[in-house]
Each structure stands twice: as structure tokens, then as C-alpha cells.
Amino acid sequence: MAKNEWGMSVYPLVPGHEIVGEVTEVGSKAQKFDVGDRVGVGCVVGSCHSCDSCKNNLENYCPKSILTYGAEYHDGSITYGGYSDTMVADEHFVVRIPDNLPLDVAAPLLCAGITVYSPLRYYGLDKPGLHVVVVGLGGLGHVAVKFAKAMGAKVTVISTSPSKKKEALENLGADSFLVSRDKDQLQGASGTLDGIIDTVSAQHPLFPLLGLLKSHGKLVLVGAPEKPLELPVFPLLQGRKVVGGSMTGGLKETQEMIDFAAKHNVKPDIEVIAMEYVNTAMERLLKADVKYRFVIDIGNTLKATTS
């Protein structure tokens, strides 16, 4: 969004859609929250409330959903995100952060967390004993590993980088690790997986992944490559395999995810930074030089400016 890589950015742009803090004021009609409550706002701040998606608590799929930043709000103004010291939001799009979940680690759950939690639930990959693969070990992937393990799955990580093996097994608790470019390793795992959560946003082949699935297995894409991926059909026919997608989650499920994370101690790995470090952090992101999410300490480092 910052560089308009998806062709939808509106400038001036104030990013940030993993926002946490405390309620400082409530409107006269607000009923869900009180001053002092610990809360968060994720990727969506508005929807139509009347379509099938909204009626089924899937506001993220509403045709008229309003993104937290860079979108037109109901009143015609442009939404601004969390790189700011205050924010006003419709209480319907605010979630409660449990007291035992630190605010800094809660923030990335509001996008990265729900992005991987929702498909694990929806596609039935949340059952103990299932064998789930997470492709890509970054901001999304590392949280996917933690949620899948908390749900009782056997988890394998697939990465292009052999150097991430120790991190995956020892620090994140994965059960096994495969290098995506090692054909022998992939062949050894052929037909053994119940599901795959593919978090990769770069161009990559799907054919090798489909070969890893059991019959009726599911490959779920949650990354967003700029260019279309090639989808081979025969591997789908041979085993009734499914390729699907998923994008964040509705507010009911987001609250469920936050509560699950608090109960099962699912915490993203973060690096807390000051506001003045943001440009450097952006440069490091391009080099994948972060484990695994930057969190900006707005409250203590954003300095007021006068015009």
C-alpha cells in the first residue's frame, strides 16, 4: 500500500491496520466498551451490515467493506490508519484484548494472526493429529506454525532457506522442515499431508505442493503474489484435492482468535521500534530482516507536531 504495488493506494496515506491501545472516550450510543478498556482494530473499519457476508459475521468479505486506511468511509472521508496517536472507530469493528495478552504482541494478531487462524478453522485443519504444512516462514508463516501447533496439529515448515531449519524446529516448535528446492525431501513427503497453508507472496510453483497432499487434501493460499500463479489441474483431479484462499476474518472470528491466542499463549515474535525508525524498518522489511513483525510504540515515541 505504501508504494501502491497493488494499484489501489490513495495519498496522503497513513498506514497501520494492526492497532492496539486503550479506550480514551466513548460515544453516547456506544455500549460495548468503557474508558480504559484494552482494545484493538484490525483491517476493516466499516461494512454494509446487510449483505449475506455481514449477516454471517464475515464483514471482511462484504462488497462494501471499508479498509482501515486508504479507503473511502461512509461520510466520504479517507480512512487513516494506526500510525497516529488517536483513532476513532465504530465499536462493531473493535475487539477486546484479554488482560493476559500484552498489547505489543496482540497487535500483529489483528492481521497476520487472523489471516492464518481463519483458514485453519474454515478448512478443517484445526483438528488434533492432522498433518499441516506451512509454506514460508515470515510474518504470516511463523504465526501459522504457532496456531497450528496450539490446535494440536503435526506441523511441517517448507522454506527456500535451509538456514531457517533451526528457527522452525527449535524456536517455533515445528515438527519437521523441508527445503522447497530439494526434490528428494519433497518426494519423501509425497501424499502425506492433510493441508497446506501457503503464506508466500512471491511467484512460486504450486505443482510440487499439490503432490504433498493426501487425497482430499487442501492447499490454502493466504499470500498475495503480484502476478498470477500457474495452477496445474491433473494433480487436483487425482485425489479430489482442493485449492482455496482466505483473507483475514470477520469480527466475531477475530475476537475468537484473540481469545484463543490468550488462552494458548500464542504470541507473534516482534521487534518494538520507535516512530522515527519507521523508514529504516521499511528498508529492512524489503530485505526480510525482521523476526517477524515490527511493532511501533506510538504512545511513547510519536511526537506531536505543530503547523
User: Which of 1-15, 22-36, 189-203, 241-255 has the lowest average pLDDT?
Assistant: 1-15
Domain boundary among 211, 245, 279: 245
Cβ count near 131 (within 10 Å): 22
Structural domain including 31 reads: 19-111+250-261
Residues 256-307 have pLDDT tens digits of 999 999 999 999 999 999 999 999 999 998 888 999 899 999 999 987 665 5
| Amino acid 304: pLDDT | 66
Q: How many structural domains compose the chain?
A: 2
Kindly report whether the global pTM for this prediction surpasses the value 0.75. yes
Our separate counts of H helices and E strands in the chain read: 11, 13
Averaged confidence pLDDT in the chain: 95
Domain boundary among 216, 245, 274: 245
Task: Answer yes or no: is pLDDT of 4 > 90.
Answer: no
Nearest to 22 by CA among 85, 79, 113, 67: 85
In a domain, 76, yes or no: yes
Q: In terms of domains, do 118 and 224 share one?
A: yes
| Amino acid 219: pLDDT | 98
In a domain, 303, yes or no: no
Q: In terms of domains, do 134 and 220 share one?
A: yes
d(CA 276, CA 258): 29
